[in-house]
Amino acid sequence: MRTRFIVGNWKMNKTASEATAFVRRLAQQVTDLAGIQVGLTPPFTALQAVREALGPAPLFLLGAQNLYWEEKGAFTGEVSGAMLKDLGCQFVLVGHSERRQYFGDQDAWTNKKVLAAIRHGLEPILCVGETLQDRDAGNTDLVIQRQLRAGLAGIEARALGTMTIAYEPVWAIGTGRAASSEQAVPVHRVIRRTIDELSGSNTGRHVRILYGGSVTPQNIADFLISEEIDGALVGGACLDPVSFATLLKVALGSSPSTT
């Protein structure tokens, strides 16, 4: 049984004080998650504030948007897995397309980051996704397979089954043009098949796969209706507490169709 997971990725938004106010308002709106997991990834500078605002019995999981793979040392501007763990992070995004596009994160780096996260007891969420150019050229599956094979290299078969992957088509991020579930579901299946290949068994069915790209309170149910889609990675629609709470309430009320 794969537990549903909705993650709000704040990207470079909210100061620490804004983060505190956000968490207080969100907590007023959402008091019970009825078995689904919900995570927040504030910027590094707001992690401590969010942790404190969540209190001693946090309803939401705390995650970071990135990490560096080295343990410590002369790496100006970087943050290690140990630092995130010490701040109470439970998970970390790796290889988000904005990291790949603007900060040079390459497949080989995503692999080092995934391995570093695991080493520090953080759940990595490996983000994969094709550009519009890739999709138009018919290369979506190839790109996804390449990102997975490289990003997950060296992870033992059993651990592969506990992974969470986020499928975020680059053309759907921040554009208001979400993929349809008819577009997303086949890619989720490619992801499961690729994990099967990598693990040498049918491990893919255990892997949690989130869809990301222009998810809103209005369209989240269209994704969650599919058994293939285990949750969402939400950008713009997670920044306002009322909008995010509405999205979570829709997610809580929608169950996958078995047909």
* Contact set with ligand 13P (CB under 6 A): 9, 96, 168, 173-174, 212-215, 233-237
* Contact yes or no for 152/111 (Cβ under 8 A): yes
Least distance to ligand 13P, CB of residue 255, Å: 23
CB of 208 to ligand 13P, least distance (A): 15
168 is catalytic: yes
Tell the residue number behind the tokens 């989720």, with chain if given: 188
Cβ at position 147, least distance to ligand 13P in Å: 15
CB 90 within 8 A of CB 62: yes
Residue at shortest CB range from ligand 13P: 235
Which residue, 19 or 198, is less far from ligand 13P as judged by CB? 19
Residue 96 among the catalytic residues: yes
d(C-alpha 195, C-alpha 96), whole Å: 19
Catalytic choice (98, 123, 130, 168)? 168
Nearer residue to ligand 13P within complex by CB, 151 or 212: 212
Residue closer to ligand 13P, measured from CB, 187 or 198: 187
For residues 196 and 161, the answer to whether their CB atoms sit within 8 Å is: no
| Token pair in block for residue 17 | 């004080």
Q: What is the 3-state secondary structure (H, E, C) of 1-50?
A: CCCCEEEEECCCCCCHHHHHHHHHHHHHHCCCCCCCEEEEECCHHHHHHH
**Residues 44, 52: Cα–Cα separation, whole Å:** 14
Give least dist CB 194 to ligand 13P, A.
Answer: 21
* Cβ closest to ligand 13P, residue 93 vs residue 198: 93
Choosing from 96, 98, 120, 130, the catalytic residue is 96
The residues annotated with a catalytic role in the active site are 96, 168
